Amino acid sequence: MTINQNELQYVTQTIREREPVYVLGRIDQQTLSTTFRIDYNLSPEFSVQYYGSPFVSIGAYSNYKIVTHPLHENYENRFRLFQPVFDENRNQTADGIGFVNPDFCFTQFRSNLVFRWEYLPGSRLYLVWSNEQTDHRKISNSTLDEAIGSFGETYARNLFLIKLNYWFSL
């Protein structure tokens, strides 16, 4: 598991009174990922391979700042802290600054299953199943357990492939 905490994470740029306004915030991000692979040879002519890679990342923002004087020699004077209040549509419009709550929950699972059969010397048949599930939600205060639990709710995209190689001897 990787934990990322950054006090100056870019959130958005917006316009207020015809001037650009840069919003930064503190991000607390947790990422969990792994990759595993299994190869199993049933015989010299037949093998099964599986590859799986789950990935989960959640991020929560806080301590929002507006960049006021980016080159000021005193670090504390470069920003002005503000506390946004998000409405039911997750938009913040107080203080003349409008932006969407940047909290997120991203989950992805990719896998492949390959059956290989060498039916004649040099000639092979491959049966492949590839699965991919990706979900990106704007959820505040999500936990890794909730994100992992959402794998079953995500629409899966499946791809099936048949590949046939035949070796001609000349």
Residue-wise pLDDT for 20-42, tens only, equals 889 999 999 999 999 999 999 99
Nearest to 104 by CA among 62, 65, 59: 59
d(CA 28, CA 68): 23
d(CA 65, CA 77): 11
Across 101-120, average pLDDT: 93
pLDDT at residue 93 in the model: 62
Q: How confident is the model at residue 94 (pLDDT cuts 50, 70, 90)?
A: low
* Position 98 pLDDT exceeds 80: no
Entry pTM: 0.78
pLDDT at residue 92 in the model: 65
In sequence order, what are the residues at sequence separation of 6 or more whose Cβ sits closer than 8 angstroms to the Cβ of residue 46? Answer: 115, 116, 117, 118
* Position 116 pLDDT exceeds 80: yes
Q: What is the CA radius of gyration of the chain?
A: 25
* Position 89 pLDDT exceeds 90: no
Helix, strand, coil percent content, the chain, rounded in steps of 5: 10, 65, 25
Residue by residue, DSSP assigns 42-100 as EETTEEEEEEEEEEEEEEEEEEEEEES-TT-SSGGGGEEE----B-TTSEE-GGG--EE
* Position 51 pLDDT exceeds 70: yes
Cβ(125)–Cβ(117) below 8 Å: yes
Q: Where are the domains of the chain?
A: 2-165
Residue of higher predicted confidence among 36 and 18:
36
What tokens appear for 114 in the block?
């390959």
What tokens appear for 21 in the block?
């306004």
d(CA 97, CA 168): 69
The percentage of the chain sitting over the pLDDT mark of 70, rounded to a whole number, equals 95
